[in-house]
Structures are given as C-alpha cells and as structure tokens.
C-alpha cells in the first residue's frame, strides 16, 4: 500500500527565511513517482515537480529545491528566501506504477512580512 | 493558455436537491479525475475516466455519479446532496502514456455549499 506522511501540519516563517517541508513515503514498489503540489488560498492545485524512483538527483528551480533520498524514503522541499506569496498549503503525493496518486495531509505554510 | 476549467466556482444547493458540477479541458488529456477536498484535508479521489472507461474508488458513495460525454468534458452529479457533501470539488486531467503517473493538472475547483 502506498502512503505519504507530512508530519508538519503548519509552519510559520518570516519573509526571507528558508523553510523545509518534509515528506516521507511508504511503498513496496521499486517503480514509483513523487510529486509536490501547491494550493494557494484561491484553491487550485498547482503542480510543482515530479520525480521518479530511479532519479535521485536533487533539483533546483529558482528558490525551490527538492531533496530525494531513497535511503530514508523522503522527498523534502525547501524554499529559499521565502516570500509572502509562498503562503499556501503544500501537498506531497505518491503514485505507484499504474496506480492513482495519493496525497499527504498537506503542510500549511504561512510567510509573514 | 490550455487549461482545466471548472464551472461554477461556487455552487449552492439545497439538501437533497440534485446538483451537477462541470469540468472542461483544452489539454486533450485522456484521463479526467474528480476529487473531493474537505476543509484542511487532502484531496480524496472519487473516480476517474481513462478515455471512456469509468473507474470508481471503492469508498465513493453511490450518491456520486459521473459522465464524460466526450474528451473535453466531464461532469460530477450528486443525486441527493447531504450536509456532509459540502466541500471543494477538484477536477484534474493527465495524459497517460506509460502508466498513470504523469502530473495531473487541476482546475480551480468548485466550492459546494449545502443549505
């Protein structure tokens, strides 16, 4: 069975601080996919990144970076120099080969000016 | 921009009165999904269409039905809404090539209120 745990329910930081959102997953498959989505107050889910299980290379996109570690079954997301516009709920999700996507419970990030 | 469009953004209905939510896409994706998201919870998959093939999640109530008349449109019908059905309903699409693991693209959602 596939499972995603986002232990941090809420995080609050001050603008320009770095923040890391944790994601731990469980799967018995060797082929799987991990995702991060952002849900701002307006409600839509915005796709941020997909990573497959065979690609452990970390990724950086502007102020966003992702650290995928199979040894600890984690796929953590770091925002550098956070901004107020980063305030949102962030969901980590897992999809095993041929199966639908399952979301973690989400982490609500508040960035204060 | 190609996108997933949900109408209306907000829907109010009466207890027990059937309601239909709509979703359209210009992405030409072959899979369309409906999720229910209650306050402070993760989205929960209700069902999805792989082309014309309907796939229902085991725990989706019978009260919820869906139709996909063509590639572009998908509807969520709630036959007799109860107070517990008040939620945000999210439509998503993806293109399936190798497995069902392509990123899903979401609409803005329809927030359903039940009076």
A14 band by pLDDT with thresholds 50, 70 and 90: very high
Residue-wise pLDDT for A53-103, tens only, equals 988 888 889 999 999 999 999 999 999 999 999 999 999 999 987 778 899
**Is the CB of residue B50 less than 8 Å away from at least one CB of chain A?**
no
A43 band by pLDDT with thresholds 50, 70 and 90: confident
Burial B10-23 (b: 16+ CB within 10 A, else e): ebebeeeeebebbb
Chain-wide mean pLDDT for chain A?
93
**Is the CB of residue A41 less than 8 Å away from at least one CB of chain B?**
no
Determine the average pLDDT of the residues in A8-30.
96
DSSP string over chain B: ---EEEE-SEEEE-TT--EEEEEEESS--SEEEEEEE-TTS--EEEEEEETTEEEE-TTS-TTEEEE-SSSSEEEEEESS--GGG-EEEEEEEE--BSBS-SPPEE---EEEEE-
What is the structure's pLDDT at B100? 60
What is the structure's pLDDT at A97? 77
Would you state the structure tokens that stand for residue B52, as one six-digit string?
A: 């014309």
What does the radius of gyration of chain B's CA atoms come to, in whole angstroms? 13
Interface touch B100/A99, C-beta < 8 Å: yes
pLDDT tens-digit profile, chain B (115 residues): 669 999 899 999 999 999 999 999 999 999 999 999 998 899 999 999 999 999 999 899 999 999 999 999 999 999 999 999 999 999 999 987 765 678 899 999 999 999 9
**Is the CB of residue B24 less than 8 Å away from at least one CB of chain A?**
no
């Amino acid at each position: 069975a596939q499972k995603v745990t986002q232990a941090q329910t809420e995080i609050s930081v001050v603008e320009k601080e770095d923040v890391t959102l944790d994601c731990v997953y469980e799967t018995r498959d060797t082929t799987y996919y991990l995702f991060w989505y952002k849900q701002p107050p307006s409600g839509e889910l915005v796709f941020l990144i997909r990573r497959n299980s065979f690609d452990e290379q970390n990724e950086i996109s502007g102020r966003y970076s992702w650290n995928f570690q199979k040894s600890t079954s984690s796929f953590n997301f770091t925002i550098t120099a956070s901004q107020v516009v980063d305030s949102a709920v962030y969901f980590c999700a897992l999809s095993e080969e041929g199966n639908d996507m399952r979301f973690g419970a989400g982490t609500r990030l508040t960035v204060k000016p | 921009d190609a996108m997933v469009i949900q109408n209306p953004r907000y829907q109010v209905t009466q207890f027990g009165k059937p309601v239909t939510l709509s979703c359209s896409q210009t992405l030409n994706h072959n899979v369309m999904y409906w999720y229910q998201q209650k306050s402070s919870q993760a989205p929960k998959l209700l069902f999805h269409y792989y082309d014309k093939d309907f796939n229902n999640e085991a725990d989706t109530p019978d009260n919820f039905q869906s139709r996909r008349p063509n590639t572009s449109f998908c509807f969520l019908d709630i036959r007799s809404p109860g107070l517990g059905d008040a939620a945000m309903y999210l439509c998503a699409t993806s293109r399936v090539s190798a497995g069902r693991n392509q990123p899903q693209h979401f609409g803005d959602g329809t927030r359903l209120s039940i009076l």
